[in-house]
Copies of this chain bind each other. A is one copy, B any other.
Amino acid sequence: MAFPDSVEQLITELAKLPGIGRRSAQRIAFFILGQPPEEAGFLSQAIVDVKEKIHFCRRCFNFSEDDLCIYCRDPRRDASLICVVEEPSDIIPIEKGGDYRGLYHVLGGALSPLDGVDPEHLHIRELVDRVGKGEVAEVILATNPNTSGESTAMFIAEELRGKVRVTRLASGLPVGADLEYADEATVSRAMLGRREI
């Protein structure tokens, strides 16, 4: 069916969002059409605001409205610990875990030479500089446990060798998982990383 141009345009834009197919986009577009104008205004303004106000933290490259992000600004965070993640969204699960009270460093991706992502495209130099200032006791590499995340972790570990203690998040069976359904790579990692109890 043919929609008016502006509706079609909205559906197209909505369908670009992650997890939104054409059908959901249509549903959302009709919902927006049915809303009071001020409600739709809140949404469009929130998008404009977030793009205007949010920048990268000068120190750790997390998203921030200020020069420094909420973690870098917080004096209660342990500045001797840096947890290195690929993207700002990776900070969420770590914060939810609740055990970590150090700072972060967002790389802005993971090494992937085939996609043209080389070390100079990530904030690795800035990490080395942070460590070089001498206040950091440990760098925890929390890049994703996949090929590009692992090679990024290996590369950074090499860059920081001898300068600071470098650790990597444990790999193994997820809590609540069923051994029967775990994939071989995960079981193999869990076996290699086994600990005495």
Interface residues of A (CB under 8 A from B): 1-7, 9-10, 12-14, 16-20, 24, 26-34, 37, 39-51, 53-54, 63-65, 69-70, 87-89, 91-92, 95-96
- The answer to whether A47 touches B40, judged by C-beta atoms less than 8 angstroms apart, is yes
Q: A63 contacts which of B27, B33, B51 (Cβ < 8 Å)?
A: B33
- Contact across chains for B32 and A50 when beta carbons are under 8 A apart: yes
For the complex, give the distance between the alpha carbons of A94 and B40 in Å. 27
A70–B53 CA distance with the chains assembled, in angstroms: 40
Q: A35: nearest residue on chain B (CB-CB)?
A: B51
Give complex CA distance A12, B39 in Å: 12
Q: Does more than half of chain A's interface fall in helix, strand or loop, or is it mixed? A: helix
Residues in B neighbouring A13, C-beta threshold 8 A: 42-43, 46
Q: How far is the CB of A52 from chain B (nearest CB, A)?
A: 8
- On chain B, the residues within 8 Å of A88 by CB distance are 30, 33
> Are the CB atoms of A4 and B51 closer together than 8 Å?
no
Q: What residues of B have a CB within 8 angstroms of the CB of A91 in the complex?
A: 1
Kindly list chain B residues whose C-beta atoms are within 8 Å of the C-beta of A95. Answer: 1
A30 CB contacts on chain B under 8 angstroms: 87-89
**Chain B min CB distance to A38 (Å):** 10
On whether the beta carbons of B33 and A27 are closer than 8 Å, the reply is no
- The closest CB in chain B to the CB of A62 belongs to B4
A20→B14 CA distance, assembly (Å): 12
Residue numbers in B under 8 Å from A70 (CB-CB): 2, 4
Q: How far is the CB of A63 from chain B (nearest CB, A)?
A: 6
| Contact assessment for B53 and A6 in the assembled complex, using a CB-CB cutoff below 8 Å | yes
Name the CB-closest residue of B to A40: B51
Closest to A19 in B: B24
The 28 sampled A-B contact pairs (Cβ below 8 Å) are A4-B63, A4-B64, A4-B69, A6-B49, A7-B63, A9-B46, A10-B46, A10-B47, A10-B50, A12-B46, A14-B43, A14-B46, A16-B39, A16-B43, A18-B27, A19-B24, A19-B28, A26-B89, A26-B92, A29-B50, A30-B87, A30-B88, A33-B51, A33-B88, A37-B51, A41-B48, A41-B51, A44-B47
